[in-house]
Structure 1
Amino acid sequence: MKAFLSSKLFKVLFVLGVLVIAVGSMMPGKQLPSGLPWDKALHFVGYFGLGFLARMGSDKRPAWLLIIACIAFSLGIEVAQMFIPNRGFEWQDLLANSLGVICGVLVGVLGKKLLIKPVKR
């Protein structure tokens, strides 16, 4: 049996998501695009996507472990930003990221049941 959508695709997209977030988060503050509205909403959406891709790409890891891993990544990014010019650690960013991860993983639990299922040959 072949999967409707492969978890391998989501694993690749997850790695790309990690790279995009890491690179974007490590840019010095003055190099960031100006005029980004709703900063915390962007944090939520970005980490929602990361959490969703983590759940969809994971075959055996429990959802709680994926949530902890993604939040730890977010915390690492926030700490690293303390050493980047015109950037800094923000608790509000960490909160928005964490809520995004939790919601993304939970939606991914449902998505995994609906999208990654065997297709009869």
Structure 2
Amino acid sequence: MQHTLTRLWARYRTVFKIAFFALLALGLYLGMRPTPAPASYNWQATFYHMAGLFSLTLLSYPAFPRWYWWIRGLLMFSMGVAIEYVQSFHPTRSAEWADILANSSGIVAALLLAGICIFLSRRLTPRSRP
């Protein structure tokens, strides 16, 4: 099964890269525009932060499979901090530590999920004997 997934990822890598950069552009636009995203409840803004970086981190695996997990996490964390930094300059937005914590929890959850999936796929793949 891992061989089939690897072949599919290699075949559609360009599609995954386009989807990654499209989601990145959407996240940068929504994070850096002067008006915040509409949220009726306080937990919705936290969910936007967590879900955005969770999905971006997961999408980075098929798009860029050779990145180490710690480089992937560091790049995603840097992007979240950069968005909060830009938000601190808008008069209608505010940079908050809670948003950085929500970003980090989404990244960590995605890294853990991907790590578990990679571990299980390697563990369950039958190995050929010489």
The TM-score normalised by the length of structure 2 is 0.74
Contact 1:67 1:105 in 2 (8 A): yes
**Structure 1 residues 24, 45: closer, same or farther in 2, change over 3 A?**
same
Q: Which moved more, 1:55-64 or 1:78-87?
A: 55-64
Mapped to 1, the partners of 2:29 and 2:88 lie a distance apart of 15
Q: C-alpha displacement at 1:14, in angstroms?
A: 1.2
Mapped to 2, the partners of 1:55 and 1:102 lie a distance apart of 14
Bigger relative contact order, structure 1 or 2 (CA pairs below 8 A, ≥6 apart): 1
Q: Which structure 1 segments of 5+ residues have no match?
A: 115-121
Q: How does 1:22-33 map to 2 (within 5 A)?
A: 22-29=28-35, 32-33=37-38
**Structure 1 residues 13, 36: closer, same or farther in 2, change over 3 A?**
farther
Q: Which structure 2 segments of 5+ residues have no match?
A: 122-130
| Superposed CA offset, 1:25-61 (max 9, x none) | 11223x6335266221221111100110112211211
**Structure 1 residues 63, 36: closer, same or farther in 2, change over 3 A?**
same
Mapped to 2, the partners of 1:69 and 1:93 lie a distance apart of 16
Counterpart for residue 4 of structure 1: 8
Q: 2:49 aligns with which of 43, 47, 55?
A: 43
Counterpart for residue 89 of structure 2: 83
Aligned-CA RMSD value = 2.4
The TM-score normalised by the length of structure 1 is 0.79
Mapped to 1, the partners of 2:13 and 2:67 lie a distance apart of 13
Q: 1:68 aligns with which of 65, 74, 91?
A: 74
